[in-house]
Amino acid sequence: MKLSVIIVNYNVKHYLYQCLDSLGRALKGIDAEIFVVDNHSRDGSIEYLTVHFPEINYIELSHNLGFARANNIAIERSKGEYVLLLNPDTIVCEETIKNVLTFMDEHPESGAAGVKMLNSFGEKAMESRRGIPTPMTAFYKMCGLCKRFPQSKRFAHYYMSYLPWDKPAEIEVVSGAFCMLRREALNKIGHLDENFFMYGEDIDLSFRLLNGGWKNWYIPQQILHYKGESTAKSSFRYVHVFYKAMLTFFNKHYSHLRLWFTIPVKTAIYFKAFGELVKMKIRQAGKSLGIFTPRSRQHPAYVVIGTETTCEACKALFNRKGISAELIVGNKETLPDGHLSPSIELPESNMAYIVYDTSAYDYQTILQLFAQKPSEKIRIATYHPSQQMIVTEQEILG
């Protein structure tokens, strides 16, 4: 078997449905198996997904064992020459997996490969290429030098932003959102470290691959990553788990350094975590006092592009929800430029979701259109006719 795809799910069944729909298209012609490991979800994920994707291997855990342990359980049961760790809040383009596998076949020294991740408005995610967060690299990141000097190989090593986006390049850390692993390399260096409950396990795995003599690569193939639908990033739990993972990595790989060096780094991590918590509390207080308006309450506009049947179904859906929307009949052949077409006037004031009918446009085209002209005011959304469901970064309409 060529490939084993492993997805860990936690209460995001609709995003995972979309991920699996895109994955079905991307795996055509590939000898592959898919594992979905459910980390004790409470939204009926397994019952919902087994109806629509009965061919998938489901592992239903009785407790939330964390990202690393859940992946390891599936890795131990999988058979593929390659293993792809994939987040449930992603969309994979039709040719992405084929092209990454071809690259790794042609580069036998490659242990892992990541891809170009786009966010919900088509901008390239900096997490697509990262360096190992050595104490100095982490210091440059936390003090702002990484952002201030993005082309510096010294200061900007955390995101390796000096690398070209349109060419393959050696990197150090492959994101766990899309991490293609060579089975041979994984067997030699070991599976994910289960001391990392969530976050940091991809950094640790990438670091061990490099130390084992393998190379990690960035491949300019696109996916969409909503980045965190499984976890509320404004929550205390997120701050606690994320910065605990940073300390776990630092203690595991750099505890041998002298105290005069380690104490300032650990202090900086605690200080950064404390600062994030303070900002979170200020935002929460501002919202409760009406000072800040949550984005979800800003009433975004909706523009639907799809078949006539889709437009009629969306019209009925929006009428039930009391939402106004613009409905445009078109597909990849009749309206190849999609929302970028000169004939389409997009809303100028509010943020707008461009809802693409996935029966009229392939995922590759949708992501390419947004990547051509990224704008924070124009966000990706999809409509799935079989479910009569609209998926946005914020909510599910159906």
Determine the structural domain holding residue 347 and report its residue range.
Answer: 295-397
At 136, give phi and psi (nearest 5°): -75, -40
Same domain, 182 and 67: yes
Same domain, 283 and 339: no
Same domain, 270 and 302: no
pLDDT tens profile 256-288 = 665 555 565 566 656 666 766 677 667 666 666
Please state, as a whole number, how many other Cβ atoms lie within 10 Å of the Cβ of residue 204: 21
CATH code at 311?
3.40.50
Reported confidence tier of residue 232, pLDDT bands at 50, 70, 90: very low
273 lies in a domain? Answer: yes
244 lies in a domain? Answer: yes
The count of structural domains within the chain is 3
pLDDT tens profile 3-40 = 999 999 999 999 999 999 999 999 999 999 999 999 99
> What region does 388 belong to: left with phi over 0, alpha with psi -120 to 50, or beta?
left
CA distance 275 to 282: 11
Same domain, 143 and 189: yes
How distant, in Å, are the alpha carbons of 111, 170, 211, 281 from that of 246?
A: 23, 23, 19, 22
Same domain, 303 and 284: no
User: Residue 328 is encoded by which pair of tokens?
Assistant: 């445009």
pTM of the prediction?
Answer: 0.86
Same domain, 145 and 283: no
pLDDT tens profile 31-68 = 999 999 999 999 999 999 999 999 999 999 999 998 99
Same domain, 132 and 213: yes
pLDDT tens profile 338-395 = 999 999 988 877 899 999 999 999 999 999 999 999 999 999 999 999 999 999 998 9
Same domain, 153 and 51: yes
Same domain, 132 and 254: no
200 lies in a domain? Answer: yes
Name the nearest CA neighbour of 186 among 37, 106, 83.
Answer: 83
Same domain, 159 and 308: no
Same domain, 194 and 255: no
For residue 126, with 0-12 CB atoms within 10 Å meaning exposed, 13-18 middle and 19 or more buried, which class applies?
middle
Cα dihedral sign, 165-168-170-171: positive
Asked if 293 contacts 322 with a C-beta cutoff of 8 angstroms, the reply is no
Q: Given 271, 288, 305, which residue is the final one in a domain? A: 288
Name the nearest CA neighbour of 277 among 245, 231, 230, 235.
Answer: 235
For residue 166, with 0-12 CB atoms within 10 Å meaning exposed, 13-18 middle and 19 or more buried, which class applies?
exposed
- Per the DSSP assignment, residues forming a β-bridge with 378 are 352
How distant, in Å, are the alpha carbons of 10, 87, 200, 229, 391 from that of 42?
A: 8, 18, 25, 15, 20
User: Residue 4 is encoded by which pair of tokens?
Assistant: 């084993």
CATH code at 187?
3.90.550.10
pLDDT tens profile 116-152 = 999 999 999 999 999 998 878 877 887 889 999 999 9
At 298, give phi and psi (nearest 5°): -90, 10
231 lies in a domain? Answer: no
Asked if 122 contacts 371 with a C-beta cutoff of 8 angstroms, the reply is yes
The DSSP symbol for 123 reads P
68 by DSSP, 3-state: which? helix
Same domain, 205 and 350: no
